[in-house]
Structure 1
């Protein structure tokens, strides 16, 4: 049997792919032009809100210029349709927002359009030389025979030695002409333009592996600790599980060689120093000289995607509850079974009444707090600060800070007044503890009741509890005696 059926099946799958669907789309020129304008080598991601506005602006601009554009001019709706067609993908940002980026299918379709629109011959001496050199190099590496390998190296050394001796002997060094350099430049540009799509395919392969890991974990019935350890170890080897990832790991060895990259940059500058480069635009020269940035950017993007996938997988696995997931799965399966039974007897347009909110439960009291052993623990012991306590107060000290002592003052004042002393002299003769300033209020009270004669005035010396003294002039205090 011939291989035609297998080839037809493979080509049919490719024909139904997202890349060819964009090429065959009636709006392909519009979509590719918008993608080329929005996404550049320096702009890999565009915020969702910004892209919606840009798409609307470009659609209106093309319509005003007389071009046919989609009837739908809403930027958000167009971006969503392109995302469903697998030409755009929406990724989360670190600040909580979202952004769009091109898929590998869109990049491949853009390369097809660019190749078809480029006016040049596909067959050239430069391209054939590149193919022949590559075939010879890989043929040598494919042969394990030592003698064959040594013979190939000897032939290469002899050729290079003869060329060196010719130049050292004064032989002419002929630089490539403009046409030959242009052909080589076109071949290099073709190869460089394919790099972003290659890197993007590696990123998409990493995302598919990450999603598959999450799905496998959800369906796994093993203990969580065992599964967690296995999948965390697998997340560190994401890049080795696909053909694209293994190819990237091989290219990583080349991209990690700083000396090789520096020589690559120097070679790019040497090519642009040839006279043929004067026919190129400033943008073309700058893009070619900065081709090493495409390598560095692609390497960084793949490594960041791999790191982000491993980190998100670890966070998901650490917070995932297998028990709750299985319980929810059982409930959904039970509902699906009941639905299939109902569908056997249900009539068209028949519905099942369902309350939006659950009915009230007939429960008198529902506990909202449960026993917590921590709350039953005794309070911590108080610190012993008895050595810091002040001296204890005695009754006499408290009384000295209180109101007037009417009984003692009345008794001693009356005795001295009966002997003929004036009120001021009688007060000044009292002991210090009975000559407090507050005792003067007691004198006023006694005089108002007529218990002492306070008609005369004089100067008294009161003594505070702290021993300080102060002089007061007694006012005329006279009152009626109370029976």
Structure 2
């Protein structure tokens, strides 16, 4: 039988296996916390991999110059980031534009918050903190008690209290002034509550990603009928937010903070707080945290929604392209590759040459056909049916009206308008043409003819109005040109 001491010890061992406590328990924990908080901020939740390596490397160099060599590990910035990713403190992610980035895991965010609280102002037992606790207990009691009469009595008591306060304000015209010290305590309590949000949002996003990995893994190993697989996994993909405990809790909180009007009210209330003189007693970083509460909530919502969209897309794509036989073949191939690497690595050394595959294996075919089949069809194709569309080769006039330019008519029209020098303004020629030759395609035909005959461009802009066969008109603008209907040698 397990004793209480042994149970407490095993529980503590399991707790310290959590990546968040493991980060704070490491020898280089102060360095890890400092570097992660330096690179990742509320305004910069994701950092490109190359930039993170460069910035962490620069920070390590600065610490060495400052004389902190004993506190620094011997690994490079790239190796440190790889170690932190393996430990579950960093998450590598590929964006839509194929840029690979790092972001903090929920464990790392929680560790940074714990370190920040421990290194900052110590939490105090204040009126604001106790009132928050009492309000939470009262709300829990109301939600848990289904007694109608008790609920009505509580509401009557609240209404009576609010009416009394309203009557006092109407009678005196004054509002009770709260001491600045109490306001500062309440502001610190608000900031204490807000600091928990980033880790909560990160945990929700990571729970959705973990569910996504579980679904894809189960799908790749599934041998059930395709229809059953499609129904189950498409449903999970559509309702991914309800598939995890964190997701369901977030969905409940979203009903409170997801309303744009609530966020606007929150922004207005924060502006009122920041205009109050008591905020000058807060350090500048605390005032910045108050100002950024709304934006941090919006960033957290966007992080969760992005994880939800990505999970739905990945699951749906995997279901649509699901091929159990091909997936098993790929898995077997990858296992063979990993087995080969594990057998090759112990006996290899740095710079060891690898013998390349110079030719593909030859397929082992027992017998090939030596006589091809007859490619000619057994019977000739049936003759084409005749269409009774009038005289063959003659198009109806309506169809011809919607056809291309009538080059012969346009040539004659240009020649008839040529002056003594053989020049014709194309815009004027188009405007002088009959309605049937003033279609948009006829304008293109005139410009094509002018280009072939030789034309002179000017800096002016010409405007013409074309008429389609159905009577609609359209106005065009182009650089004015003059066509030469005959060369100088024709005179």
Unaligned stretches of 5+ residues in structure 1: 340-348, 390-483
- Give the corresponding residue for 1:15: 16
SS of equivalent to 1:169? helix
Partner of 1:187: 189
The correspondence of residues 40-439 of structure 1 with structure 2, limited to 5 A, is 40-68=41-69, 69-170=71-172, 172-326=174-328, 360=362
CA gap of 1:376–1:310, structure 2 versus 1, over 3 A, is farther
Contact 2:20 2:108 (8 Å CA) reproduced:
yes
Find the counterpart in structure 2 of residue 434 from structure 1.
none
Aligned mates of 1:301, 1:331 — CA distance in 2: 35
TM-score normalised by length of structure 1? 0.69
SS state at 2:91 partner: strand
Residue 328 of structure 1, CA deviation: 6.0
Which structure carries more relative contact order (alpha carbon 8 Å, separation 6+)?
A: 2
Give the match for residue 480 of structure 2. none
Preserved contact between residue 90 and residue 98 of structure 1 (Cα < 8 Å):
yes
Does the 8 A contact of 2:48 with 2:101 survive in 1?
yes
The farther-off stretch of 28-37 and 61-70 is: 61-70
Q: Residues of 1 paired with 2:177 and 2:11: CA distance?
A: 46
Cα-Cα RMSD: 3.6
Aligned length: 373
Displacement of 1:166: 1.5
Per-residue deviation, residues 164-208 of structure 1 (Å, max 9, x unmatched) = 211221165232222111111111111111111100000000011
Q: How far, CA to CA, are the matches of 1:97 and 1:331 in structure 2?
A: 28
Residue 234 of structure 2: SS of its match in structure 1?
helix
Which structure: larger Rg? 1
1:205 to 1:121, Cα distance in 2 relative to 1, 3 A: closer
1:366–1:268 CA distance, 2 compared to 1 (3 A): farther
Q: Deviation per CA, 1:78-133: give whole Å up to 9, x if none.
A: 10011111110101111222100000110111111111111334211110111112
Q: CA deviation at 1:67?
A: 2.3
- Whether the 8 Å contact between 1:206 and 1:239 is mirrored in structure 2 is yes
Q: CA deviation at 1:281?
A: 4.2
* Matched residue SS, 1:105: helix
Q: Secondary structure at the match of 2:172?
A: coil
Question: Cα gap change, 1:375/1:128 in structure 2, threshold over 3 Å: closer, same or farther?
Answer: farther
CA shift for structure 1 position 54: 0.6
Instruction: Point out where structure 2 has 5 or more consecutive residues left out of the alignment.
Output: 341-346, 348-354, 395-491
C-alpha change, 1:64 and 1:304, in structure 2 (3 Å) is same
TM-score normalised per structure 2:
0.68
Change in CA separation of 1:39 and 1:376 when aligned onto 2, cut-off 3 Å: farther
What is aligned with 2:411? Answer: none
The question of whether the paired residues in 1 share the 8 Å contact of 2:92 and 2:100 is answered with: yes
Q: Deviations over 1:354-384 (max 9, x none)?
A: 99677645659879xx99x999998998999
* Residues 274 and 291, structure 2, Cα contact 8 Å, conserved in 1: yes
Q: CA deviation at 1:233?
A: 1.0
**Separation of aligned partners in 2, 1:157 and 1:236:** 43
